[in-house]
Amino acid sequence: MSEQSVPTLFEWAGGMPAFERLTTIFYDRVGSDAELAPVFRNMTPEHAHYVALFIAEVFGGPPAYTSARGGHHTMVSQHLGRRLTAAQRRRWVDLLVDCADEAGLPGDPEFRSAFVGYLEWGSRLAFLNSQADGNPSKLDQPVPKWGWGETGGPYVA
């Protein structure tokens, strides 16, 4: 198989409908989740859609989040000063992985490894940036790009 015929993680997952399903299922659950409900208490009705756009862009989809919201800077800014706990970070990852199953995202080891790898990396970056002493010095970075065996880069909180 030539490298040109290898689908992006976005394509492999099922495109934008897959990420919309994922975030819809996830954000339908956070309101009743003891650990996460306080974090998302004041989210806007568009929140799930914006997160779907962001994750899709990370996995090789169109730059719709960057076009609509301004890119990585906007996503990082959403976490500043929120003082997320380690338990909230971990619960966010666990619940999103559970929702990926329900949303029908691919279960093959290669896709799931990339998916979980990004969730771990991104949630740890969000956790660090959310702390009172967080120093988001890399706000000017582009949206990270994840691929088959490739990570989004050496971002440092």
Task: For 1-51, write each residue's pLDDT tens digit.
Answer: 445 789 999 999 999 999 999 999 999 999 999 999 998 888 888 989 999
User: Helix, strand, coil proportions of the chain in percent (round to 5)?
Assistant: 55, 0, 45
Q: CA-to-CA distance for 16 and 44, rounded, in angstroms?
A: 20
pLDDT range class, residue 80, cuts 50, 70, 90? low
pTM for this entry: 0.87
pLDDT for the residue numbered 136: 63
In this predicted model, which residue has the larger pLDDT, 40 or 143?
40
> Could you give the 3-state DSSP secondary structure of residue 147?
strand
List, in order of start, the domains of the chain with CATH numbers: 10-130 (1.10.490.10)
In this predicted model, which residue has the larger pLDDT, 80 or 103?
103
- Residue 141 C-alpha from the chain's centroid: 16
